[in-house]
Structure 1
Amino acid sequence: MIEAVNIQKYYDDLQVLKGVDLHIKKGEIVSIVGASGAGKTTLLQILGTLDAPSTTPTTSLKINGENVLQLKDKALSKFRNLNLGFIFQFHQLLPEFTALENVCIPAFIAHKNKSETEQEATRLLEYLGLGHRTHHKPNELSGGEQQRVAVARALINKPAIIFADEPSGNLDTVSAENLHQLFFDLRDEFGQTFVIVTHNEDFANMADRKLVMVDGLISN
């Protein structure tokens, strides 16, 4: 599902990633932990094609069999939109749109049918326990509800992989636990692969595999 070889990243003279090799299987839930500055978010952004690695002759990144480092910008954007979903610590919902409209946005970007998209978005929101909140705007929702809307948005295009960066970092304990369980339920129901950066050790230990990053490398 994800095959990364010799992933390096420099910011000027600072080397943040020092040659990460990683293989993640389909349907696997992988957590990435480590101290601040270890390179977790940088790695996640590169795996999610939001950033590019520093190029070396041996660097490669294949996702679902596609060598994404060889894609031009437009093709890469299309690949990302259709194959990858993203959940961030701060939900990044657009405040002027309803929950339903926020969920639909990635599908509209992919030029999918409006009626079918709205039906699918409604189904996802109902699955996530938000069927009664579809027409509420983000400021009318609790933090946990906002994050579940963001989860629905990440799922709308039925992506093969969901990348999450501290998805429960801004939630209370109960909402965080509910979100964590939701990821496992989604994997079991839809077969998606999850790659999750987290500081929550309990959640990290629940994953199928926990990767510990130390100073730009995976230590285990």
Structure 2
Amino acid sequence: MGYTFLEFPENVGGRFSAFTSVGLLPMAVAGLDIRSFVKGAAKMERQLKESDWKNNMAYQYACLRNLYREKGYGIEMLAGFEPQFRWFYKWWIQLFAETEGKDGKGLFPVSAEFCEELHAVGQFIQEGTPLLFETFLDVQEQNSSLSAPKDWVEDFFDYLNGKDFWEMNKASFTATVKAHREKLPCLVLEIGKVDEYHFGELFYFFLFSCYVSAEILGVNPFNQPGVEGYKRYMFEALGKEK
């Protein structure tokens, strides 16, 4: 089973391979429902291709990214309060850095795992050099539950007794977006839930958005000439024949 979201030229980088056998086979081996993953992507494809530009989420996101860049924001931070996004952030960083970082152009993509990094990174965001804007991923449906039990330690955290960590994270998310918007632009992308179907939607959304954003920026979204430089020196050092 294969799936492509555009007519790719040959030798496109691995960052665009999520819906090919390169991406699907490891998912299947890991026990994920790749059919559901592809169905989510197909649904997002239809939604984006059938929307006019005024209602096209990917086009709006791509335009906002480039508008913020023109206003002097050189960094985009993808952030969220869902720990299951940890490795998704890694792919997102590669996708935008390798696709747009050419010809002296492009935003520098970084990520932040909140609440874990909120205290330190949040301090810089609110009072440091205004270098970045934030894009938040906000999950709408809870898929697990863990509550903080009451204990007998006097630590001034009794107000959290019995509260679910989902509730705490949501409160942290709302407060963070409100506080950070006082300093810099914050976008919020809502995801229905954390499962294969919605991950398929999310992957496709960012793939499509990245392509559109690169076209607006005026760079080739499908090559990566810069990384070939270090590869050449590495191969020479290791004695690889040409």
* Both proteins in one fold, TM over 0.5: no
Which structure carries more strand by proportion? 1
Question: TM-score w.r.t. structure 1 length?
Answer: 0.29
Question: TM-score w.r.t. structure 2 length?
Answer: 0.27
Which structure carries more helix by proportion? 2
Higher Cα Rg, which structure: 2
